[in-house]
Chain A
Amino acid sequence: MESKRELLTLLLSNAREDTADLARQIGLSESDVESMVADLESEGIVRGYQAVVDWNRFTDEHVEAEVELNVELDRETGYEEIARRIAKFPEVASLRLVSGDYDFALDVEGESMHDVSNFVAEQIAPIPEVTQTVTHFVMETYKERGIEFDDHDEDDRLSVSP
């Protein structure tokens, strides 16, 4: 259990770390690490591996928005059914049921503000159970999945010190 937690910590910080280095840090053999990774994947604990991308540095044609969604349930339709329907859209990067003033929080991605607005207006808002949408366009990303997007990471320690 402890080794698995350790492995997850390392994968979260750098999923591309090679197996040999993972094994050295955890203090296990490479084959043990390989089988632990396989277990974590088959158990559905590790769901995938993705890069954390600072899109602003790559292209102007990338827009993200956080969308708040209120829904009204009936006897036949629960959160699960609505979520399953919304999650299928490729524009929806993440979807969560949350507590508070609204029900679902969506991250929506598109190539322009028009794209995102259209998607929300034409695909999400018309869903019968949806009663309200509030769209917040992302102006700037400073931190994502634990990684800060600034450049102030220079090491100003002395190169040799006691």
Chain B
Amino acid sequence: MNPADRVERVPPSGIRRFFELAEERDDIISLGVGEPDFSAPWSARTAAIDALERGKTSYTANRGRHDLREAITDHVRRYDLEYDPDTEILVTAGASEAIDVAMRALVNPGDSVAVPQPSYISYVPGVTFAGGEPLPVPTSADDEFVLTRKALETAGAADAKVLVLCYPNNPTGATMTRDELAVVADFVRENDLFVLSDEIYAALTYDGDHTSIATLPGMRERTIVFNGFSKAYAMTGLRLGYALGPEVAINAMNRIHQYSMLSAPVTAQYAALDALRNCADEVAEMRDEYNRRRRFVLSRFDEMGLDCFDASGAFYAFPACDGDDEAFAENLLREQGVAIVPGSVFGEGGEGHLRVSYATGMADLREAMSRIETFITER
């Protein structure tokens, strides 16, 4: 059997090699994890249990349960977003499915999709699987990994059909202010691009408020916003996300979704409904805890002399390692038993950096940082 060409064009994930290296030993401390170390709030878990006990195990409406879509409508008003639960929201199996479906719904064969990098590892393959041509737009530490007009112009993004955004960002932890987004929005409107804006880390913004690019003038009609329950509500394994966008885009996405997925998992939808209604305090507690760890990690890197900008969102720090990041990460793992992910795995602009997740308890985090310091000192 020969897999399709578009599958062959996507190389195995660079993260896989580090996963296999880390799996070789059982005494590691992992700062390589892209998911919360908390469990979902107990109230949301009991809602899922209750749904199962009541025998709620069937498909739901393709777009997701109506009460959940209404709750999402209410929830996103905190970001000044207003969407019609009947026509402008699609509930999906994780934000990942939403992004995949959006790519397939929008991208024609040969269409160019601009992907700022370093970026979450699924965007570029997603473009390829949709038949499009990924156009990397490298961002740099000099700009604190914020997407600039210059970066877009240099990469030739004016000719792209779609621009992907992710902020707060995985892997850098960088986020974007309203002013920085306004610059991007000007470029997008001038060149008639469509934006796929992955805002799944919005609730984990530490300095200032999260601004959705869809709230900027003229952007709502050319933007699909993605969010979900994995990060803020620690519900990664329940696989529940959603897309917000103009009716025509959501309809197109739903046309694919209804044939490929039918509906998002019903148990997770009940958990998500409860999460939106009852778990704001737990989200705030988790965010406060991440924020304390963030300050700790950034302070420790500063003391070690590793240059790290103020990663002010998500739960990642992205320090520079002064040299070959893959060798750094591999040697750190072998010599000190600390797993981190080299920045180059996340594309252009990530080289010479390290993704350090602080979604781990303080005791392990403290020990891991000491080991990194020892590793640097002994190098």
Contact = CB atoms under 8 A, between A and B. Distances in A.
Interface of A: 6, 9-10, 14, 17, 21, 24-27, 155, 157-162
Contacts of A159: 19, 22-23, 28, 30, 32-33, 339
B296 A21 contact: yes
Listed residue (B13, B18, B23, B30) with the most chain A CB atoms within 10 angstroms of its CB: B30
A107 to B, nearest CB: 26
B293 A157 contact: no
Nearest to B21: A160
A159 B333 CA distance: 12
Nearest to B170: A162
A26 B15 CA distance: 32
Contact of B30 (A10, A17, A160, A162): A160
Given A14-B362, A157-B35, A157-B37, A162 B295 contact: no
A14 B26 CA distance: 26
A161 B33 contact: yes
- Most chain B beta-carbon neighbours within 10 Å: one of A6, A9, A161: A161
A27 B297 CA distance: 11
Given A10-B292, A27-B299, A155-B360, 19 more contacts: A14-B362, A17-B362, A21-B362, A24-B295, A24-B296, A27-B295, A155-B37, A157-B30, A158-B33, A159-B19, A159-B23, A159-B28, A159-B30, A159-B339, A160-B19, A160-B22, A160-B30, A161-B15, A162-B121
A157 B39 CA distance: 11
A159 B296 CA distance: 21
Contacts of A161: 15, 19, 32-35
11 contacts: A21-B296, A21-B366, A25-B292, A25-B362, A26-B292, A26-B295, A27-B295, A157-B37, A159-B33, A161-B19, A162-B120
Interface string B348-368: 000000000000101000100
A121 B18 CA distance: 65
Interface of B: 13, 15, 18-19, 22-23, 28, 30, 32-35, 37, 120-122, 170, 288, 292-293, 295-296, 299-300, 339, 341, 360, 362, 366
A155 B339 CA distance: 15
Contacts of B300: 24
Nearest to B29: A159
Contacts of B122: 162
B362 A157 contact: no
Contacts of A10: 292
Contact of A24 (B13, B121, B299): B299
A2 to B, nearest CB: 10
Contacts of A14: 362
A25 B293 contact: yes
B19 A158 contact: yes
A25 B30 contact: no
A159 B299 CA distance: 24
A25 B33 contact: no
A155 B295 CA distance: 23
A159 B158 CA distance: 39
A159 B33 CA distance: 6
Contacts of A157: 30, 33, 35, 37
Contacts of B296: 21, 24-25
A14 B292 CA distance: 14
B185 to A, nearest CB: 28
Contact of A162 (B34, B288, B292, B362): B34
A17 B120 CA distance: 34
Nearest to B28: A159
A10 B288 CA distance: 11
Contacts of B360: 155
A10 B28 CA distance: 26
A160 B296 CA distance: 21
Nearest to B13: A162
Contacts of B18: 160
Contacts of A160: 15, 18-19, 22, 30, 32-33, 339, 341
